[in-house]
């Protein structure tokens, strides 16, 4: 059992009373911070940074040393699982992640193997352990994974930022093959999140970055269904403490009721939805996390405060809201504007609690 110095984030996820709305930022350890860039330069490349627990720990804590954030998130990449599956991940200069051996034929798909997280993704578990130690219970640590569908996009397309032609062709022409990949991915993610929880993650989040590219019915069959499978299979309580699970489908606002129904504790929202409408739609079922457009952090502090207030007052009174951006923070964000956001959330939210 641990005694967290600040458990506001966990309480908000469980809709228990809080004194203010907790806040963290997706991609809070990232390129907008000079100290992050310095550590990354020392690592040499991005994958080495992810695979070296001491360095992953260092960058995970950097934003917490700058801003009074209410949660830390494991520094890692969503593609660690397909990397451990042997698809040959590398980060090509200027084009993001690339797989040297994407799933381009049936044989490769049949051969897909669920990695053992305790051995093949040991570096992630070591990072979780080391981060927990370094955090010394300041705030909770969030573990995470990509969703089975989002991982499959990269695994089939071989890279990000595509038009989804290959994966959608598979989805509509050979759904059996895609289901094979997704089932393997769901098994892998379940084991991976459970290992993170065993190593010390105090909440987990599933990032479904690309589910929003699907049609409403394909989303249910090819993304949501496998996230439900994961939630059914992960540890929800440890040492008599609930391990909350957050699901975030970017562009999933239309499907909110369905997402809230898969057994998660909280749903992440992007900025296209009014969080007050979202709250009315999900009722008491789940907490909500979000949903400031990260571009607002390019504006002056008074605009950031005004837009923060709009979200806080739209959510309204009571617990169940974790403030966040609607997507990862941009590398071009002035860090002082991130500070202004955290300050605004902490100050302006007190009247709602």
Please give the residue ranges that form the binding site for its own copies (CB under 8 A). Answer: 163-165, 168-169, 171-173, 212, 214-219, 251, 253-254, 271-274, 277, 293, 295-296, 298-300, 303, 307, 310, 326, 330, 332
Active site annotation includes 174: no
Q: Which of 66, 77, 122, 166 is catalytic?
A: 77
In Å, how far from its chain's centre is CA 296? 20
**In the complex with its own copies, which residue's Cβ is closer, 125 or 341?**
341
Active site annotation includes 31: yes
Q: Which of 7, 20, 27, 192 is catalytic?
A: 27
Beta strands 237-238 and 241-242: pairing type? antiparallel
Active site annotation includes 27: yes
**In the complex with its own copies, which residue's Cβ is closer, 122 or 281?**
281
Active site annotation includes 40: yes
Active site annotation includes 36: no
**In the complex with its own copies, which residue's Cβ is closer, 135 or 311?**
311
**In the complex with its own copies, which residue's Cβ is closer, 88 or 334?**
334
Query: For the purposes of burial, counting CB atoms within 10 Å of the CB of 123, is it exposed (0-12), middle (13-18) or buried (19 or more)?
Result: middle
Q: What angle do CA 186, 140, 211 make, to 5 degrees?
A: 30
Q: How far is the CB of 247 from its own copies (least distance, A)?
A: 17
The number of residues in the chain equals: 353
**In the complex with its own copies, which residue's Cβ is closer, 198 or 303?**
303
Q: How far is the CB of 293 from its own copies (least distance, A)?
A: 5
**Rounded Cα distance, 36 and 32, in Å:** 8
Q: How far is the CB of 104 from its own copies (least distance, A)?
A: 15
Q: How far is the CB of 272 from its own copies (least distance, A)?
A: 6
**In the complex with its own copies, which residue's Cβ is closer, 117 or 290?**
290
**In the complex with its own copies, which residue's Cβ is closer, 140 or 251?**
251
Q: How far is the CB of 235 from its own copies (least distance, A)?
A: 32
Q: Which of 11, 40, 132, 228 is catalytic?
A: 40
Q: Which residues make Cβ contacts (< 8 Å) with residue 297, sequence separation at least 6?
A: 304, 325, 329, 330, 333, 334, 337, 338, 341
Q: How far is the CB of 164 from its own copies (least distance, A)?
A: 7
Evaluate whether 279 touches 300 at the Cβ level (below 8 Å): no
Q: How far is the CB of 285 from its own copies (least distance, A)?
A: 19
> How many other CB atoms are there within 10 angstroms of residue 163's CB atom?
9
Q: Which of 154, 192, 219, 315 is catalytic?
A: 154
Torsional class of 341: left (φ above 0), alpha (ψ -120 to 50), beta (otherwise): alpha
Q: Which residues are catalytic?
A: 27, 31, 40, 77, 154
């Amino acid at each position: 059992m641990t005694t967290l110095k600040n458990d506001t984030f966990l309480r908000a996820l469980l809709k228990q009373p809080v004194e203010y709305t907790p806040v963290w930022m997706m991609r809070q350890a990232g390129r907008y911070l000079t100290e992050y860039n310095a550590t990354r330069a020392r690592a040499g490349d991005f994958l080495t940074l992810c695979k070296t627990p001491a360095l992953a720990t260092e960058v995970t804590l950097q934003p917490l040393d700058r801003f009074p954030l209410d949660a830390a998130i494991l520094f890692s990449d969503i593609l660690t699982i397909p990397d451990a599956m042997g698809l040959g991940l590398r980060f090509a200069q200027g084009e993001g992640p690339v797989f040297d051996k994407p799933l381009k034929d049936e044989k490769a798909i049949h051969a897909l193997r669920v990695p053992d997280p305790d051995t093949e993704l040991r570096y992630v578990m070591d990072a979780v352990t080391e981060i927990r130690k370094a955090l010394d219970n300041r705030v909770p640590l969030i573990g995470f994974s990509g969703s089975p569908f989002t991982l499959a996009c990269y695994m089939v397309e071989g890279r990000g930022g595509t038009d989804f032609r290959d994966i959608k062709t598979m989805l509509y022409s050979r759904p059996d093959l895609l289901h094979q990949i997704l089932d393997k991915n769901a098994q892998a993610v379940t084991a991976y999140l459970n290992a993170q929880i065993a190593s010390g993650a105090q909440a987990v989040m599933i990032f479904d970055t690309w589910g929003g590219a699907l049609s409403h019915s394909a989303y249910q069959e090819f993304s949501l269904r496998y996230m439900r499978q994961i939630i059914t299979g992960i540890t929800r309580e440890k040492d008599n403490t609930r391990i909350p699970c957050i699901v975030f489908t970017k562009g999933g606002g239309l499907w909110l009721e369905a997402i809230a129904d898969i057994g998660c504790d909280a749903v992440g929202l992007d900025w296209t939805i009014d969080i007050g409408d979202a709250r009315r739609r999900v009722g008491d079922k789940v907490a909500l996390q979000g949903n400031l457009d990260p571009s607002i952090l390019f504006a002056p502090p008074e605009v950031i405060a005004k837009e923060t207030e709009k979200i806080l007052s739209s959510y309204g009174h009571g617990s169940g809201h974790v403030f966040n951006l609607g997507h990862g923070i941009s590398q071009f964000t002035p860090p002082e504007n991130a500070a202004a956001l955290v300050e605004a959330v902490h100050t302006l939210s007190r009247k709602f609690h």
